[in-house]
Structure 1
């Protein structure tokens, strides 16, 4: 018998806190994509070095998704969330002290270690507190925080960098993070936590081997991997791409908020669609998102104007939203409850490895082809189509009667 949060006010507090935490996490994570433009000039970095700076975070971040998922299942989401938010906020502040390429790499690597546990701990908190028929909407609202953070962050970070400089920008958002960590510690605790912890101790343990052996696990893993190749390739290099088109930094920051806002709306619409109409057929949103992403990427890189390019970029962002909501809804709804954090961490691990690979590959391609984005565009398009192939092979869910069904029978 699972102990969900039954009080509506309590569930509202939980999901709003998780939304705020993920929003801040995404702002901190994406801030380097705008800041890299003045950093590149001040520290005299070339495109390949900038690519490493954009990528290094993802490797430590990916590792902590694995460890963070395990820590969450062992110690509970509240403790892990507080420590993680506090850690990544401090390392964000440390980034302001970077004086060289090597020091910048070190601080970004440490930042990834600090932030990596936030996502699996948040997903576990949703699984603990929301019944299955509410998890599509809850997870989609939580996931939409990434795009909300991107929307407000792209504008805010651009303004802070121009007005205060990139060093003061990192200090400012780091201080905000410490305050958010305090809020999590104070407001996330409730009497229900004791019931949830007792329920976890009584649940049947499921071996990690049964996670790795399931065919659908690897299909979800690679769908997430290829979608993040596209997502983080776009997020990391689009500000520089638009600046190369002749736009100033503030204009780029404002334009980048448009795809984020569209994705924010689509994430929440997707949650309603998944819960009401797509139960057991969630994979079709991922398939549609992967194919349409490839189409809109091609159109964007061949657009005849900046306006058309932003329109196609927005539709590409919406396509990626289809993928994210469907994948994590499947994980939350149907994976064993006692391993939700671990399963989430493992699937996200694939996505974050892709996030580390994509920016540096694009940086290498740009260096190799003397700044031309043509080859980079085909790299992203190929990844989108590979994601479509991975997602179409996912087996549809056949709902079981027992809640503690093993993962290999869950999809």
Structure 2
């Protein structure tokens, strides 16, 4: 029988993972606020701004499959520590950038460093939590994105106003490097008995087995579309509020924290719902979230006041939290243990490709439509509707050993 961590150890592990995800999201979201004074200092054009935001997602996405494979090969503890330290180092170096080209280079390497964190975290949850608890563990971990988003908007705006964008990045980088050492010393393996049976010989899993999993393509497609929406809003809403709606810089950061607060609570509610009521039917929660997201995106595009914009953005954040939890829960519940890191890395790769595509695509759409944001909102609405259709086609099967995938195409 497979052994899992004690209650106290699970709480410690989740606390570490949660804080790591907070730092991860803060570091990637803060630039969406900082890019406004950065643009003024370096005289960035609209296309350069979009490229600066997208460059992280390009390198981050490229690192996902490799990061997942490295997690399965070297272990989650090693990869989490290396990832956190390296991306924090380049967050620190962002504060020393001297030109647009240097910013592009630093943000590109920053994305490579952060790449392994997500799949290694998924493997850590899979290793330490039984199947019936993985939905809640996963949703709590993912909800840290919202805390990072709150800090990456409201706190980042306040820090930029107080110590400048360079000081803000330097502070975040130093903090992350310190925390990385904490991960290495505290996230020590404890499951001795299980390792006696299973760790003498590490199972080698060919990458081609992932491509035999029928659901992997559906999950990849859904993740791509969901991140088109998520990162489209994350990257352009600060600019939209400040430049299009005339909201004060610091006030915009505070307003954008509201959807993150709602999303934090609903991420955890969605995990509880998944474990208690939706076992084997997770896809319906994803489809419902995508459909509701499309509705609120349409309302947001036609809102006539700042209050209504933030209200619909908050309701959309609640919808995103429901279908955002489902994908990785399906992976850690139903995929073979030997494939968890690689499958998570591959799906995250697709999501981060969307993170690279969405900011640039929205910037291009706004330019083509002479500064109008309506077409950009329709782009997001259509993405949500397509996601609804794909989510309904996902199958939920019980987890199988990786050897069962060698001679057939199976569903996750």
Q: Do both share a fold (TM > 0.5)? A: yes
Question: How many angstroms does 1:301 deviate by?
Answer: 1.2
Question: How many angstroms does 1:364 deviate by?
Answer: 1.7
C-alpha separation between the residues in 2 aligned to 1:41 and 1:207? 49
Q: Structure 1: which 5+ runs fail to align?
A: none
Question: How many angstroms does 1:204 deviate by?
Answer: 5.2
Aligned counterpart, 1:399: 398
Residues 330-359 of structure 1, C-alpha deviations (whole Å, 9 max, x = no match): 000011101100000001111000000000
Aligned residues: 408
Whether the aligned pair in 2 keeps the contact of 1:48 and 1:367 (CA below 8 Å) is no
Question: How many angstroms does 1:22 deviate by?
Answer: 0.6
C-alpha separation between the residues in 1 aligned to 2:351 and 2:160? 28
Aligned counterpart, 2:257: 257
Aligned counterpart, 2:219: 220
Question: How many angstroms does 1:193 deviate by?
Answer: 6.6
Question: How many angstroms does 1:103 deviate by?
Answer: 1.2
TM-score scaled by length of structure 2? 0.95
2:208 is the alignment partner of 1:209: yes
Aligned counterpart, 1:95: 94
Aligned counterpart, 1:379: 379
2:190 is the alignment partner of 1:191: yes
Question: How many angstroms does 1:206 deviate by?
Answer: 4.0
Q: Choose 206-215 or 242-251, whichever is displaced more.
A: 206-215
2:257 is the alignment partner of 1:230: no
C-alpha separation between the residues in 1 aligned to 2:102 and 2:23? 23
C-alpha separation between the residues in 2 aligned to 1:284 and 1:265? 20
* TM alignment of 1:47-126, pairs within 5 A: 47-126=46-125
Q: Choose 365-374 or 75-84, whichever is displaced more.
A: 365-374
Aligned counterpart, 1:295: 295
Aligned counterpart, 1:323: 323
Whether the aligned pair in 1 keeps the contact of 2:212 and 2:410 (CA below 8 Å) is no
* TM alignment of 1:352-371, pairs within 5 A: 352-371=352-371
Question: How many angstroms does 1:195 deviate by?
Answer: 4.2
C-alpha separation between the residues in 2 aligned to 1:92 and 1:200? 36
C-alpha separation between the residues in 2 aligned to 1:263 and 1:85? 24
Q: Secondary structure at the match of 1:147?
A: helix
C-alpha separation between the residues in 1 aligned to 2:398 and 2:335? 12
Q: Secondary structure at the match of 1:99?
A: coil
Question: How many angstroms does 1:198 deviate by?
Answer: 6.0
Question: How many angstroms does 1:384 deviate by?
Answer: 1.1
C-alpha separation between the residues in 2 aligned to 1:346 and 1:221? 8
Q: Secondary structure at the match of 1:97?
A: coil
Aligned counterpart, 2:41: 42
C-alpha separation between the residues in 2 aligned to 1:317 and 1:179? 31
Against the structure 1 CA distance between its residues 193 and 42, is the aligned structure 2 distance closer, same or farther, given a 3 Å change threshold? farther
Residues 266-324 of structure 1, C-alpha deviations (whole Å, 9 max, x = no match): 11001111111100000011101111111111100110110011010011111111111
Aligned counterpart, 1:146: 145
Question: How many angstroms does 1:197 deviate by?
Answer: 8.6
C-alpha separation between the residues in 2 aligned to 1:63 and 1:383? 22
C-alpha separation between the residues in 1 aligned to 2:64 and 2:200? 22
C-alpha separation between the residues in 2 aligned to 1:65 and 1:196? 27
Question: How many angstroms does 1:367 deviate by?
Answer: 2.5
C-alpha separation between the residues in 1 aligned to 2:259 and 2:200? 43
Against the structure 1 CA distance between its residues 67 and 343, is the aligned structure 2 distance closer, same or farther, given a 3 Å change threshold? same
Aligned counterpart, 2:271: 271
Question: How many angstroms does 1:366 deviate by?
Answer: 2.2
Whether the aligned pair in 2 keeps the contact of 1:3 and 1:196 (CA below 8 Å) is no
Whether the aligned pair in 2 keeps the contact of 1:76 and 1:197 (CA below 8 Å) is no
Q: Secondary structure at the match of 1:165?
A: helix
Against the structure 1 CA distance between its residues 50 and 194, is the aligned structure 2 distance closer, same or farther, given a 3 Å change threshold? farther
Residues 124-148 of structure 1, C-alpha deviations (whole Å, 9 max, x = no match): 0000111111101101100111112
TM-score scaled by length of structure 1? 0.95
C-alpha separation between the residues in 1 aligned to 2:195 and 2:359? 40
Aligned counterpart, 1:342: 342
Whether the aligned pair in 2 keeps the contact of 1:336 and 1:405 (CA below 8 Å) is no
Aligned counterpart, 2:134: 135
Q: Choose 187-196 or 219-228, whichever is displaced more.
A: 187-196
C-alpha separation between the residues in 1 aligned to 2:403 and 2:143? 28
Against the structure 1 CA distance between its residues 281 and 406, is the aligned structure 2 distance closer, same or farther, given a 3 Å change threshold? farther
Whether the aligned pair in 1 keeps the contact of 2:30 and 2:153 (CA below 8 Å) is yes
C-alpha separation between the residues in 1 aligned to 2:59 and 2:364? 21
Question: How many angstroms does 1:4 deviate by?
Answer: 2.0
Whether the aligned pair in 2 keeps the contact of 1:19 and 1:141 (CA below 8 Å) is yes
